[in-house]
Structure 1
Amino acid sequence: MAKKSKIAKNEQRKKMVVKYAARRAALKEAIRTATTFEERMAAQSALAKLPRDSNPIRVTLRCAITGRPRGNLRKFRMSRIAFREKALAGHLTGVTKSSW
């Protein structure tokens, strides 16, 4: 089980990404379409002044059950360990153990 503080911090990051999404998109568009060097630099500095956690890259994919940050399966939103336990117990619909 992951630390509660790490899980809470990741949730806080998700909220911040949503809050600043429109502002970040507008600044990135301004950087892309800037005609002069000064306009581009002004937009880049404005983007740099936004909170670091408003960048969507900083949100970590965590297991919905344990909070584990590594070895996650996106389709099931859980770590490989939790996935295996649930699959072997028969709690995941449509998942069968393969053998050949």
Structure 2
Amino acid sequence: MGRKSFLQREKKRKKLNQKYHLIRRSSKKEIRKTQSLSEKWEIHGKLQSLPRNSAPTRLQRRCFSTGRPRAYYRDFGLTGYILREMVHACFLPGATRSSW
């Protein structure tokens, strides 16, 4: 189980990411469209003034049942151990059982 403080931090980052997503995306489009270097620096300054935790690279994928960040399978949203338990219990349709 992930520590509660880490889980809360991730929730906060998700909220910030959603809040500033449109601003970040429009600023990046403007940077691509502009030709002059000085305008690009101004827009880049706006991007830098946004909160750090609103950047999508700050988000970390976690297992939805345990909150563990490592050994995470994107297809299922689970960590390896939980994935193995669910496959052996036949809770995941289409996943083949093997002797791990």
Q: TM-score, normalised by structure 2?
A: 0.91
- Residue in 2 aligned with 1:81? 81
Gaps of 5+ in 2: none
The alignment covers a number of residue pairs equal to 99
Gaps of 5+ in 1: none
- Residue in 2 aligned with 1:92? 92
- Residue in 2 aligned with 1:37? 37
How many angstroms does 1:96 deviate by? 2.7
How many angstroms does 1:73 deviate by? 0.8
- Residue in 2 aligned with 1:28? 28
Deviation sequence 1:31-79 (CA, Å, 0-9, x none): 1112211100000011001001111111100000110001111111110
CA RMSD of aligned residues (A): 1.2
% same residue: 37
How many angstroms does 1:92 deviate by? 1.8
SS at structure 2 position matched to 1:13 = helix
Paired amino acid for 2:97: K
Aligned equivalents of 1:42 and 1:75: distance in 2? 40
Moved over 3 A (4+): none
How many angstroms does 1:89 deviate by? 1.9
- Residue in 2 aligned with 1:17? 17
Q: Does 1:49 align with 2:49?
A: yes
How many angstroms does 1:95 deviate by? 2.2
Counting only pairs closer than 5 Å after superposition, residues 61-80 of structure 1 correspond to structure 2 as: 61-80=61-80
- Residue in 1 aligned with 2:59? 59
SS at structure 2 position matched to 1:45 = helix
